[in-house]
Amino acid sequence: MARSWLMIRVELVGGRGEYWWPRPGREIVARRTSTFRELARAIDAAFGRWDLSHLHRFVLDDVVLVPLDVWDDPPRGAADDTSRLSILELGQQFAYEFDMGDGWEHLCTVEPQRVDPWEVLGVEPDRPTVAFGWGDLPDQYGRRFADDDGNGPLPDQPDPPTADLPPLLPHWGDWTPPTDDERLDGFVPMQDWDDESWRTLLGAVHRGDGFEVVSLSRTHDALEVAQLAGQGLLAALAQGVEEAWAMAWRLADDLRDRMGPGDDELADELDAVRGVGSRHVDSPSLRAVPVDLEELATHLEGDLLGAEPWYLDLETGQLWPDDPVGMTGEEPAGWGDDGRWLSITSIGSRDAWEDMRDYIDRIEDADLAESLERAIHGRGAFRRFKDELFRHEDLGRAFQRYTDDRQRGRTRAWLAMQGLRPARPGERDG
């Protein structure tokens, strides 16, 4: 998607007679076709307001925008806040005020560059959406706790802090924090993924060896290779491996925070297997197919030029060329059966090129980053990039893990769009 959306920086200047410093802020991504009223709702949600029964207004250089349908005595010459954000210019500043009584005032600044929501959020939202934020947010009515009348003292904090909670998590309820010695005794230092550990994980996932996946996840950050590690944790959950439940829980939360391609789908599946519900995975519209994500990705993101479609056998998960007899000398069972075959037409290598560009942003060596940036432009970009990067073998291997994770995620997301998901270890769709 082109970088055509607005990024609007919103800073809370003051409210209820106070001014805030440093100013809490949020950055909101919005279509130019969104309305100021939609932006107002996004700002209010971003700053934790639940009582929305108050008036608001936007003040631009030459116009005031208000909800004319609910404002009994609007300012003279005011326009309706259903006006579109397309009237804003890059770099323009304007004010937003919520609740004319308490006077929550905000400075809004349109960032000088437009953005691509997929790059910023990992999704294309249907309304203005917060992309980043900072600072402590004051309560809309100054309340410090649920029953606060504004005059009484703060309630005493439990000792330990979780003593009043039901024992739903290991450290809730009647729980004593570990001593320093106990922490050190159980501490396992995290290691960086290298070629050997990643290939060990790859083999464990292919074998469905949940025990090995959990063992590796104890000492390595699963989020770095989440699409592969998550598939392995599904096997570990099915096998009842100790620690797999907690690891899957943490990884699902991390995936939703990361918001990369296929992350929501994998997080939903991890949640579903743990029995905590899901938006997608157990829906009848998603059919389990025993497909290899890595193999499918090679056809999905292959070269567009002269590429003939391949077909996915929804019964076996095998991939077959458009002319199976001419290429393999045999015709697969059920070839031509209605409903059994899914056509796979290459979407091209644009996403893989974006992986290279995004990875360059992770390079700390400025000279190397500049050299790689030059390499990715023009014909032969992939070869030049890899030749340059693999002069630093550790970085080259790390890029392989990075792009493998991204490709698996994109392929998982593509399958979900077709109403499919990768079958879990030992699972066959009925």
3-state secondary structure of 132: strand
- Domain check: are 18 and 120 in the same one? yes
Exposed, middle or buried: residue 389 (CB in 10 Å: 0-12, 13-18, 19+)? buried
* Whole-number pLDDT of residue 194: 86
Q: Are residues 55 and 128 in the same domain?
A: yes
- The pLDDT of residue 278 is above 60: no
Query: What is the token pair recorded at 401?
Result: 């893990």
pLDDT band, residue 174 (cuts 50/70/90): low
Structural tokens at position 192? 């960086």
Residue 361 confidence (pLDDT) = 84
Residue span of the structural domain in which 221 resides: 195-284
pLDDT band at 307 (very low <50, low <70, confident <90, very high): low
As a whole number, mean pLDDT of residues 243-266 equals 88
Q: Which residues pair with 174 in a beta bridge?
A: none
The reply to whether 17 and 126 lie within a common domain is yes
Q: What is the mean pLDDT of residues 297-322?
A: 77
Q: Is the model's pLDDT at 283 over the cut of 50? A: no
What's the CA gap between 430 and 288, in Å, rounded?
A: 9
- Asked if pLDDT for residue 430 goes beyond 50, the answer is no
Q: What pLDDT is attached to residue 349?
A: 79
Q: What is the CATH classification number for the domain harbouring 100?
A: 3.10.290.30
Omega before 138 within 30 of 0, i.e. cis: no
Q: Which of 114, 134, 154 is the last residue of a domain?
A: 134
Domain boundary among 134, 161, 177: 134
Residue 243 lies in a domain: yes
112 and 209, same domain (yes or no): no
Instruction: Please report the pLDDT score of residue 244 as a whole number.
Output: 86
Residue 207: inside a domain: yes
| 113 and 202 fall within a common domain | no
335 within some domain: no
Let me know if residue 327 belongs to a domain: no
- Name the residue with tokens 């970085």: 395
Whole-angstrom distance, CA of residue 89 vs CA of residue 78: 20
Q: Which residues contact 335 (CB under 8 A, 6 or more apart)?
A: 320, 324, 341
Same domain, 115 and 25: yes
- Same-domain pairing of 126 and 46: yes
Residue at a domain's end among 232, 255, 284:
284
Pairing status of strand 56-59 against strand 310-313: unpaired
Q: E strands, 6-75, where?
A: 6-15, 18-19, 25-30, 56-59, 64-66
254 within some domain: yes
Q: What percent of the chain clears pLDDT 70, i.e. is strictly above it? A: 87
Least trusted range by pLDDT, from 149-163, 229-243, 273-287, 301-315: 273-287
> Is 326 a domain residue?
no
Shared domain check, 125 and 20: yes
Instruction: Say yes or no to pLDDT of 52 above 80.
Output: yes
21 and 130 fall within a common domain: yes
Total tally of structural domains belonging to the chain: 2
Are 297 and 344 in contact by the 8 Å Cβ rule? The answer is no
Looking at per-residue confidence, does 188 or 15 come out higher?
15
Residues 71-112: tens digit of each pLDDT: 888 888 899 999 999 999 999 999 999 998 888 999 999 999
Peptide bond into 160 cis (omega under 30): yes
**Of 114, 135, 139, the residue nearest 18 (C-alpha):** 139
Residue 392 above 60 pLDDT?
yes
Q: What pLDDT shows up at residue 168?
A: 56
Q: Are residues 119 and 227 in the same domain?
A: no
Mean pLDDT of the chain: 83
My answer on whether 21 and 127 are in the same domain is: yes
130 and 203 inside one domain = no
Whether residue 206 lies inside any domain: the answer is: yes
Average pLDDT over residues 104-124: 91
The pTM assigned to this predicted structure is 0.55
Q: Does residue 117 belong to any structural domain of this protein?
A: yes
What tokens does 387 get?
């030749």
